[in-house]
A = this chain, B = another copy of it.
Amino acid sequence: MSANSDGLLVVGGDAGGMSAAATARRLAPELGIRAFERGPYTSYSACGIPYFVAGLFDDAERLISRRPAEFAEQGIEVVTEAEVVDIDLDRREVTVARRGRAPAREGFDQLVYATGAEAVVPPIPGAEAIEPVRTVDAAERFRDQLLNGRGGGCAVVIGASYLGLEMAEALIERGMSVTLVDRADQVMTTLDADMAAEVQAAAEGKGIRVLLGGEIEEIRRHPDGRARSVKLVDEELEADHVVLSTGVRPAVALAEAAGLEIGPSGALAVDDHQRCAGAEGVFAAGDCAESWHRLLERPVNVQLGTHANKQGRVAGTNAAGGDASFPGLIGTAVSKICRYEVARTGLSEGEAADAGIDVVSASIDSKTRAGYFPGTGPIRVKLVADAGGRLLGGQIVGVEGAAKRIDVLAACVWSGMAVDELEMLDLSYAPPFSGVYDPLLVAARATAHAVRAAA
């Protein structure tokens, strides 16, 4: 770092920001790199929180992949509990607030904005008092609340996204009675209703009460502040604990105030180099940024650690004078919900309809292993193709071994493969892993038939 250079400044110390910092460090050993993180932790796995809450492991530190001291060894200065409260693009400096200190100004040559997302608090009286369980420290507080005296037998989870389902399952694992409430008429709206029904059945099979079309009027508390109940229009659910899983939105207030462009999805507008529009040397990455959807051919905002990491690498490469681009996404996701693994990629029927794309779909039921092989169990695969037979998307629900097959579909969607080509693809076969026709081949065959029948 030359004496009169301010170097790279990173706002936000999680996946996107720290990937950018680490990548820039590798490319530019002399570059000064500082990162400011509002919370106490860097580079943690928010996706792992439900498993910590469930008690699959007891040390929340295991969620943290890298700590400030490790970054310091690489010559990356990370300041935690330091919130960037203002960005001045003209003067190329930020204002950093730290408890017990006067706000400080920090200059930058390049800036990576990676503030992530923040929970959306639904407009329900009482919801504002519930702390979202989105960070390692919040997860520790919630776990302590479950274990230490403030416990109790009943929980209500509001929002039946994959995260809401994971949290509901975690609380069942803790021996609680759990109701999962959602306004929608299905769980996991990222799936088509027919596939979501399988997931709902699995949740119910685990003992979760799933209450759909539920309009919540109020979250009620005891005088001492503890949760008491969730009042619906026609029912009041006892609730010693209430978990909000009603979605997140990109944390862009600071960027917006600085004059950075917000895109149609509500996240920061970036090009494929993660450059913020019209702001030289300013990049954004992760949950706060838009991503190009390769099938919808428009920017979207998807909050997933895998994109945040990749985009951080791209931003860090470009910030350090290299040349990298993020090729976009196709909406791949996976989760484990009770007895099922659940996954999706590309477009669902519903998403295709919303985008005005005519599609054909087919679903098949098969087995994860050869019929005689111990541990075999159900797998349902649904494929969505355009009228010409090009694979546009897939959804999978099934037992152990089912869901990672989504990556095969992701590769095929990405490449623009047709379902009748997929039908003959040279996929692996052995009895511990599938029947002689992998369920994906069976699904491709059914979809190819459906495409021909619809033609």
Contacts and interface: CB of A to CB of B under 8 A. Distances in A.
A263 interface: no
A431 B45 contact: yes
Interface stretch (A30-38, A193-201, A352-360, A411-419): A411-419
B429 A410 contact: no
A4 interface: no
A412 to B, nearest CB: 5
A246 to B, nearest CB: 20
A71 interface: no
Contact of A51 (B421, B424, B431, B436): B431
A377 B183 CA distance: 40
A142 B235 CA distance: 65
A448 to B, nearest CB: 11
Interface string A48-60: 1001000011000
Contacts of A288: none
A341 B433 CA distance: 10
A134 to B, nearest CB: 15
A116 to B, nearest CB: 14
Interface in A316-373: 326-336, 341, 343, 345, 370-373
Contact of A373 (B56, B411, B434, B437): B56
A408 B408 CA distance: 4
A229 to B, nearest CB: 32
Given A424-B310, A436-B309, A373 B429 contact: no
A373 B48 contact: yes
A62 interface: yes
A239 B428 CA distance: 34
Interface residues of A, number: 64
Contacts of A56: 373-374
A373 B47 CA distance: 11
A6 B431 CA distance: 37
Given A57-B374, A436-B306, A404 B417 contact: no
A427 B345 CA distance: 9
Contacts of A51: 372-373, 431-432
Given A48-B370, A345-B426, 8 more contacts: A48-B431, A306-B426, A332-B426, A403-B433, A404-B404, A406-B428, A411-B415, A412-B415
17 contacts: A45-B436, A48-B373, A51-B372, A306-B436, A306-B437, A307-B426, A309-B437, A326-B424, A331-B426, A332-B428, A336-B430, A336-B432, A403-B433, A406-B428, A407-B407, A410-B426, A411-B412
